Amino acid sequence: MNTEINGLKINYRDEGQGPLLVMLHGWGSNVDLFDGVIKFAAKKYHVVGMDMPGFGKSDEPAEPWEVSDFVDFVIAFVKKLYPDEKEVIFLGHSMGGRVIIKMIGTKSEDELGFRIPKVILTDSAGIKPIPSGKQSSKTKRYKFYKSILVNTGIAKAFPGTLESLQKKFGSADYAAASPVMRASLVKVVNEDLQEYMPALKMPVLLIWGDQDTATPLSDGQQMEKLMPEAGLAVIQGAGHYSFLDNQYLFNKILGSFLNVDF
For residue 165, pLDDT over 50 is answered with no
Mean pLDDT of 136-142: 54
Binning the chain into helix, strand and coil, the percentages to the nearest 5 are: 45, 20, 35
Q: Could you tell me which residues come within 8 angstroms of residue 205 by beta carbon, excluding any fewer than 6 positions away? A: 118, 119, 120, 121, 230, 231, 233, 253, 254, 257
CA distance 107 to 20: 19
H-only helix segments in the chain: 35-41, 67-81, 95-106, 109-112, 133-151, 154-157, 160-169, 172-176, 179-189, 217-226, 242-245, 247-258
pLDDT at 177: 80
Mean pLDDT of 168-193: 82
CB distance 31 to 6 below 8 Å = no
pLDDT at 176: 72
For residue 191, pLDDT over 60 is answered with yes
* DSSP designation for 61: P
Q: How do strand 20-24 and strand 204-209 relate by DSSP bridges?
A: unpaired
What the chain holds in terms of domains, given with CATH numbers, is 2-128+191-258 (3.40.50.1820), 133-186 (no CATH)
- Banded pLDDT at 141 (limits 50, 70, 90): low
3-state secondary structure (DSSP) of residue 207: strand
Query: Is the four-CA dihedral 202, 51, 71, 167 of positive or negative sign?
Result: positive
For residue 159, pLDDT over 80 is answered with no
- Banded pLDDT at 154 (limits 50, 70, 90): confident
Residue 40 to residues 123, 205, 244: CA-CA distances in angstroms? Answer: 19, 17, 13
pLDDT at 54: 97
Answer with the residue of higher pLDDT: 132 or 211.
211
Burial 176-204 (b: 16+ CB within 10 A, else e): ebeebbbebbeebbeeebbebbebbebbb
CA distance 65 to 181: 8
Mean pLDDT of 184-189: 93
> For residue 103, how many other CB atoms are within 10 A of its CB?
25
Mean pLDDT of 222-239: 98
For residue 134, pLDDT over 60 is answered with no
The separation between the first and the last C-alpha atoms of the chain, rounded to the nearest angstrom, is 28
Answer with the residue of higher pLDDT: 121 or 133.
121
Round the average pLDDT of the chain to a whole number and report it: 90
- Banded pLDDT at 260 (limits 50, 70, 90): very high
CA distance 191 to 5: 25
CB distance 197 to 101 below 8 Å = yes
pLDDT at 9: 98
In tens, the pLDDT along 29-88 reads 999 999 999 999 999 999 999 999 999 999 999 999 999 999 999 999 999 999 999 999
State what percent of residues in the chain have pLDDT above 70: 84
Q: How do strand 204-209 and strand 119-122 relate by DSSP bridges?
A: parallel
- Banded pLDDT at 142 (limits 50, 70, 90): very low
For residue 112, pLDDT over 60 is answered with yes
CA distance 251 to 254: 5
Instruction: Supply the pTM of this predicted model.
Output: 0.85
* DSSP designation for 198: G
